[in-house]
Amino acid sequence: MRGFLSQSCYKIMMYLGIVDCGMIYCNSGMVDIATKSIEGSVYCQNPKMNFVYMICYFLYFSSSFTCFILGLNRFAELFSIHWLMASFKGKRAWLVLILPTIYGSYAAFCSPLPSFDTNLHVFMFDPMIGSNFEYANVFHSWNNLFFPTTTMLMYGFMAYKIRGA
Protein backbone atom coordinates (compact mmCIF):
# COMPACT_ATOMS: atom_id res chain seq x y z
CA MET A 1 0.00 0.00 0.00
CA ARG A 2 2.78 2.40 0.90
CA GLY A 3 4.42 1.86 -2.49
CA PHE A 4 1.23 2.78 -4.30
CA LEU A 5 0.70 5.94 -2.30
CA SER A 6 4.07 7.27 -3.42
CA GLN A 7 2.44 7.98 -6.79
CA SER A 8 0.09 10.93 -7.01
CA CYS A 9 -2.58 9.16 -9.08
CA TYR A 10 -3.07 6.58 -6.33
CA LYS A 11 -3.38 9.32 -3.71
CA ILE A 12 -6.08 10.95 -5.81
CA MET A 13 -7.83 7.60 -6.39
CA MET A 14 -7.73 6.84 -2.65
CA TYR A 15 -9.39 10.17 -1.86
CA LEU A 16 -11.91 9.57 -4.65
CA GLY A 17 -12.66 6.08 -3.30
CA ILE A 18 -13.34 7.44 0.18
CA VAL A 19 -15.59 10.18 -1.21
CA ASP A 20 -17.43 7.74 -3.49
CA CYS A 21 -18.01 5.21 -0.70
CA GLY A 22 -19.39 7.99 1.46
CA MET A 23 -21.55 9.17 -1.41
CA ILE A 24 -22.99 5.70 -1.99
CA TYR A 25 -23.76 5.31 1.71
CA CYS A 26 -25.25 8.78 1.96
CA ASN A 27 -27.30 8.59 -1.22
CA SER A 28 -28.70 5.15 -0.50
CA GLY A 29 -29.61 6.23 3.02
CA MET A 30 -31.03 9.50 1.79
CA VAL A 31 -33.15 7.78 -0.83
CA ASP A 32 -34.36 5.34 1.79
CA ILE A 33 -35.44 8.16 4.04
CA ALA A 34 -36.74 10.25 1.16
CA THR A 35 -38.91 7.40 -0.06
CA LYS A 36 -41.04 8.07 2.96
CA SER A 37 -43.04 9.68 0.21
CA ILE A 38 -45.10 6.52 0.32
CA GLU A 39 -46.30 7.93 3.61
CA GLY A 40 -46.61 11.40 2.05
CA SER A 41 -43.75 12.96 4.02
CA VAL A 42 -42.79 16.48 2.91
CA TYR A 43 -40.03 18.96 3.77
CA CYS A 44 -42.01 20.64 6.53
CA GLN A 45 -42.34 17.35 8.41
CA ASN A 46 -38.59 16.69 8.40
CA PRO A 47 -36.52 19.86 7.81
CA LYS A 48 -33.44 18.31 9.44
CA MET A 49 -33.01 16.21 6.31
CA ASN A 50 -31.33 19.26 4.76
CA PHE A 51 -28.23 18.33 6.75
CA VAL A 52 -28.15 14.92 5.04
CA TYR A 53 -28.72 16.61 1.67
CA MET A 54 -25.79 18.93 2.41
CA ILE A 55 -23.50 15.99 3.09
CA CYS A 56 -24.58 14.30 -0.14
CA TYR A 57 -24.13 17.54 -2.03
CA PHE A 58 -20.65 18.01 -0.58
CA LEU A 59 -19.67 14.48 -1.58
CA TYR A 60 -21.13 14.77 -5.09
CA PHE A 61 -19.35 18.02 -5.92
CA SER A 62 -16.10 16.83 -4.33
CA SER A 63 -16.28 13.65 -6.40
CA SER A 64 -16.85 15.60 -9.62
CA PHE A 65 -13.86 17.83 -8.99
CA THR A 66 -11.66 14.93 -7.89
CA CYS A 67 -12.41 13.03 -11.12
CA PHE A 68 -11.34 16.14 -13.02
CA ILE A 69 -8.12 16.36 -10.98
CA LEU A 70 -7.37 12.69 -11.64
CA GLY A 71 -7.83 13.26 -15.38
CA LEU A 72 -5.65 16.37 -15.19
CA ASN A 73 -2.96 14.36 -13.41
CA ARG A 74 -3.01 11.64 -16.09
CA PHE A 75 -3.08 14.30 -18.84
CA ALA A 76 -0.04 16.08 -17.37
CA GLU A 77 1.94 12.84 -17.14
CA LEU A 78 1.09 11.65 -20.65
CA PHE A 79 1.85 14.97 -22.33
CA SER A 80 4.83 15.72 -20.03
CA ILE A 81 3.55 19.09 -18.85
CA HIS A 82 6.27 19.65 -16.27
CA TRP A 83 4.81 22.69 -14.51
CA LEU A 84 1.56 20.78 -13.98
CA MET A 85 3.32 17.56 -12.95
CA ALA A 86 5.25 19.56 -10.34
CA SER A 87 1.98 20.40 -8.55
CA PHE A 88 1.37 16.67 -7.98
CA LYS A 89 4.86 15.69 -6.78
CA GLY A 90 5.33 14.31 -3.29
CA LYS A 91 2.98 15.58 -0.63
CA ARG A 92 1.67 18.30 -2.93
CA ALA A 93 -0.93 15.87 -4.26
CA TRP A 94 -2.56 15.87 -0.83
CA LEU A 95 -2.56 19.68 -0.89
CA VAL A 96 -4.20 19.66 -4.33
CA LEU A 97 -6.96 17.48 -2.85
CA ILE A 98 -7.91 20.35 -0.55
CA LEU A 99 -9.43 22.02 -3.63
CA PRO A 100 -12.24 19.46 -4.08
CA THR A 101 -12.95 19.67 -0.37
CA ILE A 102 -13.31 23.46 -0.57
CA TYR A 103 -15.35 23.16 -3.77
CA GLY A 104 -17.72 20.62 -2.19
CA SER A 105 -18.06 22.74 0.94
CA TYR A 106 -18.95 25.77 -1.14
CA ALA A 107 -21.60 23.75 -2.99
CA ALA A 108 -23.08 22.39 0.22
CA PHE A 109 -23.21 25.66 2.13
CA CYS A 110 -23.60 28.34 -0.54
CA SER A 111 -25.89 26.89 -3.20
CA PRO A 112 -29.56 25.96 -2.99
CA LEU A 113 -30.33 22.37 -2.13
CA PRO A 114 -32.93 20.30 -3.94
CA SER A 115 -35.98 19.09 -2.10
CA PHE A 116 -37.78 15.80 -2.52
CA ASP A 117 -41.02 15.87 -4.50
CA THR A 118 -43.37 13.22 -3.14
CA ASN A 119 -45.54 13.22 -6.26
CA LEU A 120 -42.73 12.59 -8.74
CA HIS A 121 -40.40 10.69 -6.35
CA VAL A 122 -37.40 12.76 -7.37
CA PHE A 123 -35.23 15.53 -5.94
CA MET A 124 -35.95 18.86 -7.60
CA PHE A 125 -34.78 22.44 -7.21
CA ASP A 126 -38.09 23.92 -8.25
CA PRO A 127 -40.90 23.35 -5.72
CA MET A 128 -43.39 24.23 -8.50
CA ILE A 129 -44.94 27.13 -6.65
CA GLY A 130 -44.08 29.94 -9.03
CA SER A 131 -41.26 31.15 -11.24
CA ASN A 132 -38.91 28.42 -12.44
CA PHE A 133 -35.89 30.71 -12.48
CA GLU A 134 -36.24 31.72 -8.85
CA TYR A 135 -35.02 28.28 -7.72
CA ALA A 136 -32.49 27.64 -10.48
CA ASN A 137 -29.11 26.39 -9.30
CA VAL A 138 -26.63 27.72 -11.84
CA PHE A 139 -23.67 26.35 -9.88
CA HIS A 140 -25.05 22.81 -10.11
CA SER A 141 -25.74 23.18 -13.84
CA TRP A 142 -22.26 24.57 -14.43
CA ASN A 143 -20.73 21.67 -12.51
CA ASN A 144 -22.71 19.10 -14.50
CA LEU A 145 -21.61 20.65 -17.80
CA PHE A 146 -18.02 21.66 -17.13
CA PHE A 147 -16.48 18.66 -15.39
CA PRO A 148 -17.86 15.85 -17.60
CA THR A 149 -17.10 17.81 -20.78
CA THR A 150 -13.53 18.75 -19.88
CA THR A 151 -12.78 15.31 -18.47
CA MET A 152 -14.11 13.67 -21.64
CA LEU A 153 -12.02 16.00 -23.81
CA MET A 154 -8.88 15.30 -21.77
CA TYR A 155 -9.34 11.54 -22.01
CA GLY A 156 -10.17 11.89 -25.72
CA PHE A 157 -6.87 13.70 -26.33
CA MET A 158 -5.06 11.05 -24.30
CA ALA A 159 -6.64 8.24 -26.30
CA TYR A 160 -5.72 10.01 -29.53
CA LYS A 161 -2.10 10.44 -28.36
CA ILE A 162 -1.82 6.80 -27.27
CA ARG A 163 -3.38 5.54 -30.49
CA GLY A 164 -1.24 7.83 -32.63
CA ALA A 165 2.00 7.09 -30.75
Of 103, 116, 100, give the one whose Cα is nearest residue 43. Answer: 116
- pLDDT category of residue 136 using cuts at 50, 70 and 90: confident
Torsion angle of the four alpha carbons 163, 11, 97, 159, in this order, in degrees rounded to the nearest 10: 10
Tell me: the pLDDT tens digits for 95-110?
Answer: 999 999 999 999 999 9
**How many distinct structural domains can be found in the chain?**
1
Tell me the percentage of the chain whose pLDDT exceeds 90: 41
Tell me: the pLDDT tens digits for 13-62?
Answer: 999 999 999 988 887 776 666 555 556 666 666 677 777 778 888 999 99
| Host domain of residue 59 | 4-164
C-alpha distances in Å from residue 61, one per residue of 64, 68, 131: 5, 11, 26
Please report how many Cα atoms fall inside a 13 Å half-sphere around the Cα of residue 150, on the Cβ side.
Answer: 16
